[in-house]
């Protein structure tokens, strides 16, 4: 029997499918849909801006042209392709690379003399200008000589007096010897006269020494330069009384041509240096400024110390520089580079191309199709801004030296050669020429 009772009323049931959602429940879905549309629009706009900023990018009309012609793909699909990354490269080269040992050094004069007066007296004349160059034997000061001239005259007078007595004694000796041969006087008288002559001869030698000493003291009143070099600031002014016991002296003379640089090397590097010296080779030494950027002078290794300093584990070296232009100054701080060998036909790249990361030491190599290959290498000896590569790279292969920030294996790149070719969008990636030196090399980890 059919159930003829009325159906239950479900209009008040919120889960009923025939009842529409209230307006309050629709708003979260609408907001989420708007956010998704905004994100897609922002992504599309960023890709289109990057494409237009790249050199040779097609115009907006040109970008739409392929699709209008039936190139395929959804609208705006070309805008999402990443443009080539601009980079600067330099090819690895095969060349001779000098190997240096770097150290800190101090310029030291071979000879430094404090000129002092050897006699006491008034400083009458100062015959040099502060800072001038002098030669050995040049007169640089004059001390009052009058007292020493008087002493010389007195010594010479005493000498002449005793010379007269000696001459008279010799004549008497001749007479006594004649009389003794005639048996007119006794032998004792002749011997006494001979002894008197020898006594006067000794006195003459003493008087002559006194004369020579007085003449030497007179010569000391003329102060001369003992070595060739540059004089410093004078320590005593004209008119002052100087003494031989003064410790400051009159002036200091420093030899500047040639000049030396004293530096130290680690004891581990000593065998390489000794091997070259025992082979009769003269090792070149270069002196650089405090910033280690500008080479000041070239010299050669002169000698080394005879023992290792046990407190520092280093040994002292002395290099000789001719210093004809006086570019090196005594007590100047320099960076010394001792050349110990030369690598023949080594594969050399700029140090700016070397990266360090998870794979180890590597470089970004640009392949012929302008894509990136991450190449793990082994480094050899460095020399300033260049370094030798022993494994992993061949001469002629281009390596990236600037623009490595966004690189990864297989990335498409565009090689630029000048600041005018660098796109504005990549200004933060490359150093423009003329705006400072090379950017510091930061360690990079290649992205897969």
Q: Where are the domains of the chain?
A: 99-109+262-339, 111-144+221-254, 146-218
CATH tag for 99-109+262-339 (out of 2.70.50.60, 2.102.10.10, 2.40.30.170, 2.30.30.40): 2.40.30.170
For 81-94, give one letter per residue: b (16+ CB within 10 A) or e.
Answer: eebbbbbbbeebee
CA angle 261, 267, 268 (to 5 degrees): 120
- What is the CATH code of the structural domain delimited by 146-218? 1.10.287
Q: What is the pLDDT of residue 381?
A: 80
CA nearest to 224, candidates 161, 137, 148, 143: 137
**Residue 26, pLDDT above cutoff 50:** yes
Q: What is the pLDDT of residues 130-184, one digit of tens each?
A: 999 999 999 999 999 999 999 999 999 999 999 999 999 999 999 999 999 988 8
The pLDDT tens digits for 232-279 are 999 999 999 999 999 899 999 999 999 999 999 999 999 989 998 998
Q: How far apart are CA 323 and CA 326, in angstroms?
A: 5
Q: Is the pLDDT of residue 422 over 50?
A: no
Flag whether pLDDT at 33 surpasses 90. Answer: no
Beta bridge partner(s), residue 363: 375
Q: Are 363 and 346 in contact (CB under 8 A)?
A: no
Q: Would you place residue 41 in the very low, low, confident or very high pLDDT band (cuts 50, 70, 90)?
A: confident
Query: What pLDDT sits at residue 216?
Result: 95
pLDDT at 27: 76
Number of H helices, E strands in the chain: 5, 22
Contact, 105 vs 318, CB < 8 A? no
Q: What is the pLDDT of residues 60-71, one digit of tens each?
A: 333 333 333 333
Q: Give Cα separations from 443 to 297, 362, 377, 440 (angstroms).
A: 34, 10, 14, 10
What is the number of other CB atoms lying within 10 angstroms of the CB of residue 392?
A: 16
Q: Binning pLDDT at 50, 70 and 90, where does residue 29 land?
A: confident
Is the fold of 99-109+262-339 the same as that of 111-144+221-254?
A: no
Is the pLDDT reported for residue 390 higher than 60? Answer: yes
Provide, rounded to the nearest whole percent, the portion of the chain with pLDDT above 70: 79
Alpha-carbon distances, residue 331 vs 66, 93, 109, 265 (angstroms)? 74, 40, 8, 19
So what's the pLDDT on residue 25?
66
**Neighbour order of strands in the sheet with 241-242:** 222-224, 139-143, 121-126, 241-242
Fold of the 111-144+221-254 domain: OB fold (Dihydrolipoamide Acetyltransferase, E2P) (2.40.50)
Across 262-276, 281-295, 430-444, least confident range: 430-444
Structure tokens at 446: 């290649």
């Amino acid at each position: 029997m059919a159930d003829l009772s009325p159906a239950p009323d479900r209009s008040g049931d919120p889960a009923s499918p025939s009842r529409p959602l209230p307006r309050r429940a629709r708003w979260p879905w609408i907001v989420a849909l708007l956010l998704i549309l905004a994100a897609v629009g922002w992504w599309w706009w960023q890709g289109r801006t990057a494409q237009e900023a790249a050199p040779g990018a097609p115009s907006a009309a040109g970008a739409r042209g392929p699709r209008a012609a039936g190139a395929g793909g959804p609208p705006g699909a070309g805008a999402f392709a990443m443009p080539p990354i601009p980079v600067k490269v330099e090819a690895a080269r095969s060349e001779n690379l000098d190997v240096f040992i770097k150290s800190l050094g101090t310029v030291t004069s071979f000879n430094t003399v404090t000129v002092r007066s050897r006699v006491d007296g008034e400083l009458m004349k100062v015959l040099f200008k502060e800072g001038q160059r002098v030669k050995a034997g040049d007169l640089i000061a004059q001390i009052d000589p009058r007292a020493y001239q008087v002493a010389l005259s007195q010594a010479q007078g005493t000498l002449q007096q005793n010379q007269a007595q000696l001459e008279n004694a010799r004549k008497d000796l001749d007479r006594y010897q004649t009389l003794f041969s005639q048996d007119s006087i006794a032998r004792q008288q002749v011997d006494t006269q001979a002894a008197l002559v020898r006594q006067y001869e000794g006195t003459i030698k003493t008087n002559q020494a006194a004369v020579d000493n007085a003449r030497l003291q007179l010569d000391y009143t003329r102060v001369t330069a003992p070595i060739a070099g540059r004089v410093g600031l004078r320590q005593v002014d004209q008119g002052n009384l100087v003494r031989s016991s003064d410790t400051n002296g009159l002036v200091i003379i420093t030899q500047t041509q040639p000049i030396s640089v004293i530096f130290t090397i680690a004891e581990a590097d000593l065998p390489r240096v000794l091997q070259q010296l025992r082979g009769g080779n003269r090792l070149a030494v270069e002196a650089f400024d405090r910033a280690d950027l500008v080479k000041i002078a070239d010299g050669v290794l002169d000698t080394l110390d005879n023992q290792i300093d046990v407190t520092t584990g280093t040994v002292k070296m002395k290099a000789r520089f001719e210093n004809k232009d006086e570019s090196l100054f005594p007590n100047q701080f320099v960076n010394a580079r001792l050349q110990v060998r030369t690598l023949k036909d080594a594969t050399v790249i700029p140090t700016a191309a070397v990266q360090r990361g998870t794979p180890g030491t590597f470089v970004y190599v640009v392949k012929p199709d302008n894509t990136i290959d991450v190449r793990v290498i082994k480094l050899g000896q460095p020399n300033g801004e260049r370094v030798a590569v022993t494994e992993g790279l061949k001469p002629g292969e281009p390596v990236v030296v600037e623009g490595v920030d966004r690189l990864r294996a297989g990335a498409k790149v565009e090689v630029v050669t000048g600041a005018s070719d660098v796109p504005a969008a990549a200004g933060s990636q490359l150093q423009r020429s003329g705006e400072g030196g090379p950017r510091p090399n930061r360690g990079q980890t290649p992205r897969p």
